[in-house]
Structure 1
Amino acid sequence: MSYREHPYRDVPYLLNSRPGAPGTVDLHHSPLAFVHRGGDPARENTMAAFEDAVAMGYRYMEIDVRTSSDGVLVVFHDESLDRITDGAGRLSEKTWEELSALRLRASGEPLLRFEELLTRWEDVHLNVDLKDEASVEEFARLVEAHGAHDRVLAASFNDARRHRVRRALSRRTAASGGWVVTALIVLLGPLGLMRRSGRRAAEIDCLQVPISQGRIRVVTRGFIRRCHQAGLQVHVWVVDEPAEMHRLLDMGVDGLMTDDAAALAKVMTERDGAVWPQR
């Protein structure tokens, strides 16, 4: 079944899982388009990149968060500052005051607090990869403070971290599966043993996966079919080639994440059954 045919589990965060409200863009049964870290590697995880993506039509942002030494949640991927900023050392060892003085080498953009991004738009959805243990408590606090439960998805390769988020919130947010449930579906599914992953699959709403992991092909028609049968959407990262985007959408994946925002936007305009712009 394609995304146009299979019944979705109704999840407020996943706007393609239900008819749109009057006066809004209706994404029901349309594949979702995500910008990965802003969709511009030169300005990764910066407000400028996210603002340009929103202006282009994006409504879903995949981001990473880490915690400063004084407890501020920062939109940042790496453990170390060295790769993309003019600073050095671990982000977790710096205060926000120190981090706010840094700039990305490629673009001169400053670092971004999660709360700034969370409150920038009321209709933009954030796919949040929690990169450290300390991020769980502050993430939950900010979601509660801003009533953003339906606008965030908690993601982590670490399933225990995702469970901690759920326990810390007053009501459920969307969640994607970590490596354990993904591996169960990839490895046990073809053997007819999907029931063993049933309880874990019920705790999540989607699987966000690479096309392949090492030598193992993850995204196959069988994998997509098994996920759909379990009520799970399949979102694939990171896809930058238009031909590959079309191929995956033809297979029936429910969302794509890209570092090339312009390329995915163009593909979405070319797709029958896709909606663009999405906000």
Structure 2
Amino acid sequence: MISPRHPFLDHPGPLAFAHRGGDADGLENTLVAFRRAVECGYRYLETDVHATSDGVLVAFHDATLDRVTDTRGAIAALPWSTVRRARVGGREPVPLFEELLDAFPGARINVDVKAEAAIEPLVDAVRKAGAWERVCVGSFSQRRVARTRALAGPRLATSLGMRGVATLRLLGYGGRALGRLGGGEAVCVQVPERFRGVRVVDRTFLRAAHSRGLQVHVWTVNDRDRMSALLDLGVDGIMTDRIETLRAVLAERGEWAGGASR
């Protein structure tokens, strides 16, 4: 376990992330799902953010409401007055990101910034809540991570964008001519075990990350055997939809250290 470079990562043992709150009967990214994860003992919650057409920041994965709610349309094209009426799984409202910060003050929240328009509202929400030690921001887009970091300053924890991840992987295999890694302020790297059929997380990748002081968190791992194998390999955190399974695996290894206050 690599030593933390930011208070967000200050936690004994491997970090267990409830991905979108966990698989809670189709109610991903809802207060119900996140509450269930916290009650299960999770201290780390993972979510995504988009901004409505009038700049309201919501915790939601997709760019549109179509897949998981009873409403249709792109979030970026709809006002909050419309989005607030949508129901995930036909039951639960789409939460504001600030609601997560308020509802779970003992939890730490990993945020995937899905759109440029969400960056400023996100930084404003974290600033308003004084939640600099409780939030880590990442994205596939290196540009979005960099812009968020530029607006927030060094108080905000960030992970490497995917361009930085690719560079890190190649550097681990001796690609010295690639130049700078980029994202020098990052405190972790968050990656899938495989990407487009190519293995990302192996001992060489972990060694390259750890030698640069970066924790490695792997998403989204739902199989018990893969969880155990990755933990044996030395990853620093796992994101999962199967929150009870990951908790059981960590407990069996004597590495479960949950318990966020509500």
Shorter-chain TM-score range = over 0.9
Query: Normalised by the size of structure 2, how large is the TM-score?
Result: 0.94
Aligned residues of 1:149 and 1:171 also touching (Cα < 8 A):
no
Aligned residues of 1:185 and 1:194 also touching (Cα < 8 A):
no
Query: Normalised by the size of structure 1, how large is the TM-score?
Result: 0.88
Amino acid at match of 1:44: E
Aligned residues of 1:62 and 1:126 also touching (Cα < 8 A):
yes
Out of 256, 259, 262, the position equivalent to 1:275 is: 256
* Alignment correspondent of 2:100: 117
Distance (Å, rounded) in 2 between the aligned partners of 1:260 and 1:97: 33
Distance 1:170-1:144 versus aligned 2 partners, 3 A rule: farther
Amino acid at match of 1:138: P
Is 2:13 aligned against 1:10? Answer: no
- Alpha-carbon offset, residue 160 of structure 1: 1.4
Is 2:70 aligned against 1:86? Answer: yes
* Alignment correspondent of 1:23: none
Distance (Å, rounded) in 1 between the aligned partners of 2:97 and 2:33: 14
Q: Deviations over 1:67-126 (max 9, x none)?
A: 011111011111111111111111111111111111123x61111100111111222101
Q: Secondary structure at the match of 1:43?
A: coil
Q: Secondary structure at the match of 1:44?
A: coil
Q: Secondary structure at the match of 2:65?
A: coil
Aligned residues of 2:206 and 2:235 also touching (Cα < 8 A):
yes
* Alignment correspondent of 2:119: 136
Amino acid at match of 1:155: G
* Alignment correspondent of 1:193: 176
Percent of aligned positions with the same letter in both sequences? 42
- Alpha-carbon offset, residue 202 of structure 1: 2.5
Out of 173, 178, 183, the position equivalent to 2:166 is: 183
Q: Secondary structure at the match of 2:221?
A: coil
Q: Secondary structure at the match of 2:103?
A: coil
Aligned residues of 2:43 and 2:259 also touching (Cα < 8 A):
yes
Distance (Å, rounded) in 2 between the aligned partners of 1:70 and 1:249: 43
Q: Which moved more, 1:186-195 or 1:67-76?
A: 186-195
* Alignment correspondent of 1:149: 132
Q: Secondary structure at the match of 2:179?
A: helix
Distance (Å, rounded) in 2 between the aligned partners of 1:228 and 1:39: 28
Alignment of 1:65-76 (within 5 A): 65-76=49-60
* Alignment correspondent of 1:45: 29
Q: Secondary structure at the match of 1:134?
A: helix
Unpaired runs of 5+ residues, structure 1, are 17-26
Q: How many residues are aligned here?
A: 259
RMSD between aligned alpha carbons? 1.6
Unpaired runs of 5+ residues, structure 2, are none
Amino acid at match of 2:200: V
Distance (Å, rounded) in 1 between the aligned partners of 2:183 and 2:83: 38
Distance (Å, rounded) in 2 between the aligned partners of 1:171 and 1:146: 17
